């Protein structure tokens, strides 16, 4: 099974995979040239007899558990050197000498009193070459009252475990729900006694020795096949604890003819193991079998099966068996049992499975990803200023690298992997969904005019109704670009909703406050559950964590409270008479706070008046910009979008015209925006301009004269001709 340590000596090296009893080891090869599990050999310590552990429904011999535990803790997982001294073909067993480093394991066992020495087997030569020393050590242990030779009154009786009925194959012997209720989320110490398959282990729960079967939560390893029930019984009688105690010298009773006939006929009904089933079982065995593990119960299924997470030791750390199996392509993610787990654990398993699928590892060797309508965007990161918040999950950013005023300067960015309530469509009489306005307002107050870093991640074809599709005709669909947006400067009060620097799925660091994380963390959006191989945010795990916090905190859309209701009177779609009737309300205050909802032209806007809960059409009094399709019209619109789009402004209303548009002055940060247009040569004072009626009239005249002197835009020779 492994290379000999010296030519012709018969000594081999191996690693202890299991310790079935106090005198028996299962040794696996250090390496193998063959695919799949490495070869292994069962070696019983020559000339030793350890106390026998109980079989199902039976009773331990005194000190049987302590004997097994001594050898297990001494050898499990360790590299040993061994040699087969003799074999007993009638029972199919091999007996040998084993060294742990330079220590003879049999001598260590005997010297501690955990096994007795058999002087001679039934046949000549069936004895350890170290028999004389073993006998001396046994006598010494007897004199000292060590181990099974204890002279303490009642020691033998106390060394017999009080085993509760096994729950394996008989769920009635276990109150699964009671066990879960008492231990939910709390690590339980155990020792894995058997591995049924890669994701199913049979464990002694300590200290009560309740023998249970645990299905590893969140995953399923390939099956080891299926046998007929009768054959399983026969096999159990053949294999259960047969390595223990005096059986090492005496053969078991042979099967009856009926049993052999039954086993033979059942063989034809066997179902072969799934591909990689043996590898998955071996993977779990070499890490968990006869190891001290921690079991965290996650739930119980409808058949009273225990579902739990298994953690095994790896040096000074503990590893998650489920995660290791999935990462190595030896198990698949299972949603129904994963739903019993914490969200972070679920995300790790799902991400590990996705990576295994991408690399086509083991069980995913022939995996073909389903068709997807998303495509990755590479090397399209940029910085810019936010000029518009379309909705809670969509913004428009002016790219710093594109010349000011260019049609390509503004880029629409949909936030990757999140979905916010829809804003509706007034033209189709669709009202905003619950929390849609709040989501947009949340972003507006934090992003408008701010510098951001944008990492474009993927593009996706969607229907015009905003539903993802892979086969829609070109005329009925459009391509949307998605990315992660980071606010370069922190926003006061948002510390609880996002992490300034957090690791991403790709292992990189976030360059600032993740805007999508802010939105989801405040309960204004949900994280999209992407299909496998569908492109997603590089910071997907961070978004899921934010969503979990929002759900726990019952924020926004996750709240049980009724959503806030906001009734806005839209005077832009009403009659001119209704607008005129509203004029006195806007005259009550000299300057009125407003928000610019849309830039309709360089001098005409749609404004929201929060105090009056109405929207109005508003135009600069006495100032006109080029109309649509006229020279410099687009520049005027671009300037106003950059300066005041969705900004908090102040207005002073003078009057309302015959179309229902309110006329007056508008200030942003105490700057009269009509002056800004005139200074840039993107507007003219109208001939009907009345200096006595308009605020800052002298500033408007000065701005226009300055543009004339410099012959800017509409005040250039070409502009004057238009």
Domain ranges of the chain: 12-158, 171-223+274-364, 374-558, 569-721
Give the Cα separation of 484 and 415 in Å (integer). 6
Quote the tokens at residue 218.
């969140």
pLDDT for residue 228 = 54
Domain 171-223+274-364 fold: OB fold (Dihydrolipoamide Acetyltransferase, E2P) (2.40.50)
Q: How confident is the model at residue 216 (pLDDT cuts 50, 70, 90)?
A: very high
Cβ distance 49 to 246 under 8 Å? yes
Q: How confident is the model at residue 245 (pLDDT cuts 50, 70, 90)?
A: very low
Predicted structure pTM score:
0.69
- The residue with tokens 């002087």 is 119
CATH 3.40.50.720 fits 374-558, yes or no: no
Q: What is the average per-residue pLDDT within 93-104?
A: 96
Q: Which residues 6+ apart lie within 8 Å of 111 measured at CB? A: 137, 140, 141, 146
Cis peptide before 344 (omega within 30 of 0): no
Contacts from 31-40 at CB under 8 Å and sequence distance 24+?
Answer: 31/2, 36/278, 36/279, 36/282, 37/278, 37/279, 37/281, 37/282, 38/1, 38/282, 39/1, 39/2, 40/1, 40/14
Q: Which of 237, 306, 248 minimizes the C-alpha distance to 95?
A: 248
pLDDT at 256 over 70: no
Asked whether the CA dihedral 231, 232, 237, 241 is positive or negative, the reply is: positive
Q: What is the average per-residue pLDDT within 84-89?
A: 92
pLDDT for residue 246 = 40
Q: What is the average per-residue pLDDT within 637-645?
A: 93
Give the Cα separation of 713 and 720 in Å (integer). 9
Q: How confident is the model at residue 468 (pLDDT cuts 50, 70, 90)?
A: very low
Give the Cα separation of 274 and 236 in Å (integer). 22
For 545-570, the pLDDT digits (tens) are: 999 999 999 999 999 998 888 888 89
Structure-model confidence comparison of residues 42 and 125, the more confident one: 42
Structure-model confidence comparison of residues 263 and 510, the more confident one: 510
pLDDT for residue 379 = 78
Q: What is the average per-residue pLDDT within 271-275?
A: 90
Q: Which of 69, 81, 101, 109 minimizes the C-alpha distance to 13?
A: 81
Q: How confident is the model at residue 605 (pLDDT cuts 50, 70, 90)?
A: very high
Strands 40-45 and 93-100: parallel
Integer angstrom CA distances of residue 505 from 325, 508, 509, 544, 648:
20, 8, 10, 11, 37
Q: What percent of the chain has pLDDT over 70?
A: 86
Q: What is the average per-residue pLDDT within 417-435?
A: 88
pLDDT for residue 717 = 58
pLDDT for residue 238 = 35
171-223+274-364 with 569-721: one CATH topology? Answer: yes
Q: Which of 175-184, 229-238, 462-471 has the lowest mean pLDDT?
A: 229-238
pLDDT at 263 over 60: no
12-158: CATH number: 2.40.50.90
Strongest mean pLDDT among 5-9, 122-126, 230-234, 540-544: 540-544
Q: What is the average per-residue pLDDT within 19-31?
A: 95
Give the Cα separation of 635 and 295 in Å (integer). 67
pLDDT for residue 691 = 64
Give the Cα separation of 390 and 413 in Å (integer). 10
Q: What is the average per-residue pLDDT within 643-672?
A: 94
Structure-model confidence comparison of residues 612 and 257, the more confident one: 612
Q: Which of 159-163, 249-253, 300-304, 368-372 has the lowest mean pLDDT?
A: 249-253
| Torsion angle, alpha carbons of 360, 365, 366, 367, to 10 | -40
Q: What is the average per-residue pLDDT within 28-44?
A: 90
Element (H, E) at 697: helix 697-710
| Torsion angle, alpha carbons of 478, 479, 481, 482, to 10 | 90
Using the CB atoms, write b or e for 178-209: b if 16+ within 10 Å. ebbeeeeeeebebbbbbbbbbbbbbbbbeeeb
Quote the tokens at residue 570.
């839209």
pLDDT at 87 over 50: yes
How is residue 567 annotated by DSSP? -
**The length of the chain, given as a count of residues:** 722
pLDDT for residue 243 = 42
Q: Which residues 6+ apart lie within 8 Å of 394 measured at CB? A: 412, 413, 414, 415
Q: Which of 222-231, 444-453, 502-511 has the lowest mean pLDDT?
A: 502-511
Q: Provide DSSP, 144-179.
A: HT-GGG--STTHHHHTS--PPPP-TT-GGG--HHHH
Phi, psi dihedrals of residue 210, rounded to the nearest 5° = -70, 120
pLDDT at 675 over 80: yes
Q: Which of 1-15, 57-71, 171-185, 633-647 has the lowest mean pLDDT?
A: 1-15
Q: How confident is the model at residue 269 (pLDDT cuts 50, 70, 90)?
A: low
Average pLDDT, the chain: 87
Burial, 628: exposed, middle or buried (Cβ in 10 Å; 0-12, 13-18, 19+)? Answer: exposed
pLDDT at 185 over 90: no
- Multiple choice CATH, 569-721, 2.120.10.30, 2.40.50.90, 3.40.50.1390, 2.60.120.260: 2.40.50.90
pLDDT for residue 500 = 45
Angle 178-183-188 from CA coordinates, rounded to 5°:
125
């Amino acid at each position: 099974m492994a290379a000999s340590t010296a030519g012709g000596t018969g000594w081999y090296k191996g690693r202890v995979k299991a310790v079935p009893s106090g005198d028996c080891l299962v040794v696996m090869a250090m390496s193998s040239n063959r695919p799949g599990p490495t070869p292994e050999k069962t070696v019983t310590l020559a000339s030793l007899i350890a106390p026998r552990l109980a079989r199902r429904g039976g009773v331990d011999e005194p000190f049987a558990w302590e004997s097994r535990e001594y050898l297990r803790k001494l050898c499990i997982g360790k590299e040993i050197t061994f040699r087969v001294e003799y074999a007993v073909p009638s029972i199919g067993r091999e007996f040998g000498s084993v060294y742990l480093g330079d220590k003879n394991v049999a001598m260590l066992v005997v010297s501690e009193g955990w096994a007795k020495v058999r002087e001679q087997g039934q046949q000549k030569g069936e004895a350890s070459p170290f028999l004389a020393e073993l006998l001396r050590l046994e006598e010494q242990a007897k004199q000292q009252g060590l181990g099974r030779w204890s002279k303490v009154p009642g020691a033998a009786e106390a060394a017999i475990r009080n085993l509760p009925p096994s729950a394996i194959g008989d769920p009635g012997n276990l109150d699964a729900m009671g066990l879960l209720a008492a231990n939910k989320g709390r690590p339980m110490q155990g020792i894995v006694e058997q591995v049924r398959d890669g994701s199913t282990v049979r464990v002694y729960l300590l200290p009560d020795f309740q023998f249970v079967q645990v299905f590893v939560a969140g995953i399923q390893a390939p099956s080891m096949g299926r046998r007929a029930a009768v054959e399983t019984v026969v096999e159990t009688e053949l294999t259960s604890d047969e390595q223990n105690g005096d059986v090492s010298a005496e053969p078991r009773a042979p099967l009856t003819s009926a049993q052999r006939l039954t086993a033979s006929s059942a063989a034809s009904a066997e179902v072969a193991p799934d591909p990689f089933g043996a590898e998955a079982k071996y993977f779990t065995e070499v890490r968990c079998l006869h190891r001290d593990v921690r079991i965290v119960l996650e739930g119980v299924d409808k058949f009273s099966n225990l579902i739990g997470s298994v953690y095994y030791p790896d040096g000074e750390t503990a590893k998650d068996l489920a995660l290791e199996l999935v990462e190595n392509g030896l198990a698949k993610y299972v949603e129904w049992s994963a739903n019993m787990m914490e969200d972070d654990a679920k995300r790790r398993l799902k991400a590990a499975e996705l990576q295994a699928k991408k690399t086509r590892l083991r069980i995913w060797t022939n995996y073909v990803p389903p068709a997807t309508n998303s495509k990755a965007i590479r090397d399209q990161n940029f910085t810019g200023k936010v000029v518009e918040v379309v909705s809670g999950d969509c913004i428009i950013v002016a790219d710093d690298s594109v010349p000011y005023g260019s049609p390509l300067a503004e880029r629409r960015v949909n936030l990757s992997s999140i979905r916010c309530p829809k804003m509706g469509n007034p033209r189709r009489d669709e009202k905003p969904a619950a929390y849609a306005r709040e989501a947009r307002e949340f972003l507006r107050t934090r992003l408008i005019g701010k510098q951001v870093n944008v990492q474009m991640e993927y593009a996706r074809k969607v229907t015009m109704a905003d539903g993802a599709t892979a086969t829609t005709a070109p005329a009925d669909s459009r391509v949307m670009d998605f990315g992660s947006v980071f606010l370069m400067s922190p926003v006061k009060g948002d510390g609880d909703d996002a992490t300034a620097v957090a690791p991403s799925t790709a292992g990189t660091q976030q360059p600032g406050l993740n805007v999508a994380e802010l939105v989801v963390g405040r309960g204004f959006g949900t994280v999209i559950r992407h299909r496998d191989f569908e492109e997603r945010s590089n910071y997907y795990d961070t978004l899921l964590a934010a969503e979990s916090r929002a759900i726990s905190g019952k924020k926004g859309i996750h709240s049980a409270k009724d959503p806030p209701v906001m009734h806005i009177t839209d005077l832009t779609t009403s009659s001119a008479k209704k607008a005129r009737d509203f004029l006195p309300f806007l005259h009550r205050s000299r300057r009125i706070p407003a928000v610019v909802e849309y830039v309709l032209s360089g001098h005409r806007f749609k404004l929201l008046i929060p105090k009056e809960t109405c929207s109005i059409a508003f135009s600069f009094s006495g100032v006109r910009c080029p109309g649509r399709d006229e020279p410099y019209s687009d520049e005027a619109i671009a300037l106003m979008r950059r300066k005041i789009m969705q900004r908090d402004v102040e207005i002073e209303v003078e009057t309302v015209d015959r179309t229902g548009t309110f006329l007056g002055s508008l200030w942003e940060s105490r700057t009269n925006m009509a002056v800004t247009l005139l200074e840039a040569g993107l507007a003219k004072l109208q001939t009907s301009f009345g200096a006595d009626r308009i605020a800052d009239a002298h500033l408007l005249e000065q701005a226009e004269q300055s543009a004339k002197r410099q012959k800017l835009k509409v005040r250039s020779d070409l502009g004057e001709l238009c």
